[in-house]
Amino acid sequence: MTIPSLHFILHPQERPSTYLIVRYNTAAEKGRARRAREAKMVTNSVFSTSAKVLASDNTIQPSNTAPNPKRIDRDNPFDGKPEPTILIIGAGTFGTSTAYHLAHIYKDPSKVTVIDQAPSPPKPAASIDVNRVIRTDYANKLYCDLACETIHPWFWSAELGPYFHKVGWLMLEEEGSNLKARIKETFLGRGSTQAEDIDLDKICEKFSCLKDTSTEGFQSSYFNPEAGWCDAAAATHSFMKAAERRGIRRITGTVTELIYNSSTNRIEGAKTSDGRTLHADKVLLSAGPWTSQILSSTEDSLNFTEDQCIESQIQATGLIAAYYKCSPEEISSLTTHGNTTQRTDNSCPVIVYGGLGEIIPPGPSNPLMKYANSKSGIINPIPTQSGSRKISVPADQYHVPDVLKQETEEILAKRVAPALTSGKKPEYYRICWDAQSPTEDFLICAHPDTRLGGLYLATGGSFHSYKFLPIIGKYILNTLTSVSNGEDKDQAWGWKDKREKWVEVHERGLLSVKAVRKTELKELFRRRGEVASRL
């Protein structure tokens, strides 16, 4: 069996000061010396641990292994068996990663079809943007371990490494919060941390690009040099192309409904808006915020109760971001060069401005400074086709209410690195739509209703899934083949019952406030000059 080029998996229970890395991708030899220097620098980093090399086959034992030692990335479940046809609906983070990993275990990858409403990279997807944050900073151990596993491919893999920029991560902690302490405790539980406390009054001194940044309302800050950002659109496209080169079929089309066979109680494919019918043995619904819209007609025809509907598990939610164009001189002063571990005093890190938002700097191929407003939770309820209930669906991502534009300027653009936005108007605003779960855990499981056999779910990215693009597909493959991902992941990523509530700020330690105070989009368009009521 061919091992994917980016499997650099670390065993979380080992705690020596160094780790071993086994490289499988000979195509990535260029730059090996530079990468070796980087490896030394990260030896004692936040994700420092040892990789347990198995003498039998010289591969690395995966982290967080399930009680059952059989794993899809080590034991091909299809060896000696017919490979089922698989239809993947949605080519965002989950769909692309699944396609990539399937391409490496299928003898006939052409049996796997990926369909998305847009060509690669699919611009409406949450995973497609000028940048996305790559970090290991989680208070929640499950996601911290997972992030420490996924960080290595961002450094090393030929498909993703060129798009990652290690500029570091600066987090400002709001008054009354204990998030920083919980994150550091989780890091130290893994063995070490490079996170460095920074006095609030020293921030502008350490990062001159942040001159005049307001620290009012914050109590502390820290800097983690191992984080950064990636060119999300280019990275996703590169990953999908790698799967296509191995034979995965990637097509364009809008899925309108699933094909349900009442005599077998199975989902057997999907129909598209242009009249095509796609059949498959297994269907993976990884359509992000469009998941509920695609599944709703089947749910209504089967008279599902509210708790049985996917809308009880995820909800299409939007967050607004403003994009300011930087001059070549500003970009030069704000950026490091490529993928190096060196940074200048003026290099701009990713900034987490408490629960208000994130600021991501420009790069050599991206002149835009992004201000992402984490307070701007938007929903867009519409009736289902039957008219029996409402579901939230994505609206035009570039049609943004004025009240949110003004709010983003007031709480972020005027307060963080204001010199970079003073006198400027954003090039554009965008609503990023994602599927948000009640607990901000992912939803990766077989559909629990026995009438929907053959249907699998991989959604609920909840605005923090993109960093897991390199590895999440192998866990989804375990679900597709009924292999446990371990009790902790199976529980976190399983179908939730009605006792689960929408989380409050940082309840699960996922560095997110995206579940707080959602507002209907049509209501926001009605408002004029009411920013103060939301601040």
The predicted pLDDT at position 332 comes to 86
The tokens describing 311, both together, are 């809308």
Nearest to 269 by CA among 288, 253, 246: 253
- How many Å separate Cα 488 from the centre of its chain? 19
Q: Which domains does the chain have, with CATH numbers?
A: 26-526 (3.50.50.60)
The predicted pLDDT at position 439 comes to 87
Side-chain-side CA neighbours of residue 441 (13 Å): 21
- The answer to whether the CB of 271 falls within 8 A of the CB of 297 is no
Cβ neighbours of 327 (radius 10 Å): 11
243/238 Cα distance (integer angstroms) = 9
pLDDT tens string for the chain (535 positions)?
443 433 333 333 322 222 223 333 333 343 444 444 443 433 333 333 323 322 233 332 333 333 344 455 556 777 778 999 999 999 999 999 999 999 999 999 999 999 999 887 656 655 568 889 999 999 999 999 999 999 999 999 999 999 999 999 999 999 999 999 999 999 999 987 889 999 999 999 899 889 999 999 999 999 999 999 999 999 999 999 999 999 999 999 999 999 999 999 999 999 999 999 999 999 999 999 999 999 999 999 999 999 999 999 999 999 999 999 999 989 888 875 444 444 444 579 999 999 899 999 998 888 999 999 998 889 999 999 888 899 999 999 999 999 999 999 999 999 999 989 999 999 999 999 999 998 899 999 999 999 999 999 999 999 999 999 999 999 999 999 999 999 999 999 999 987 666 555 444 555 555 445 789 999 999 986 544 444 4
The predicted pLDDT at position 406 comes to 95
Q: At what angle do helices 472-480 and 93-105 cross, to 10 degrees?
A: 70
The tokens describing 56, both together, are 């039998």
- How many Å separate Cα 252 from the centre of its chain? 22
428: Cβ–Cβ under 8 A, 6 or more apart, which residues?
323, 398
SS3 60: strand
Sign of the CA dihedral with 202 first, then 207, 208, and 211 last: negative
The tokens describing 149, both together, are 């596993």
The predicted pLDDT at position 56 comes to 31
The predicted pLDDT at position 115 comes to 98
The DSSP output letter for 366 is B
Cβ neighbours of 364 (radius 10 Å): 13
The tokens describing 418, both together, are 């204001």
78/313 Cα distance (integer angstroms) = 31
Sheet holding 86-89, edge to edge: 249-252, 112-116, 86-89, 282-285, 455-459, 443-446
The predicted pLDDT at position 503 comes to 58
The radius of gyration computed from the CA coordinates of the chain, to the nearest angstrom, equals: 22
Nearest to 198 by CA among 168, 176, 228: 168
SS3 251: strand
Nearest to 504 by CA among 431, 408, 460, 440: 440
- The answer to whether the CB of 283 falls within 8 A of the CB of 270 is yes
- The answer to whether the CB of 341 falls within 8 A of the CB of 349 is no
Sign of the CA dihedral with 156 first, then 162, 168, and 170 last: negative
The predicted pLDDT at position 119 comes to 81
Q: Residue 255 forms beta bridges with which residues?
A: 272
- The answer to whether the CB of 160 falls within 8 A of the CB of 469 is yes
296/300 Cα distance (integer angstroms) = 6
- The answer to whether the CB of 401 falls within 8 A of the CB of 521 is yes
Buried/exposed 240-276: b ≥16 CB within 10 Å, e otherwise = bbbbbebebbbeebebebbbbeeeeebbbbbbbeeee
The tokens describing 117, both together, are 């409403």
Q: Residue 383 forms beta bridges with which residues?
A: 390
The tokens describing 265, both together, are 């109680």
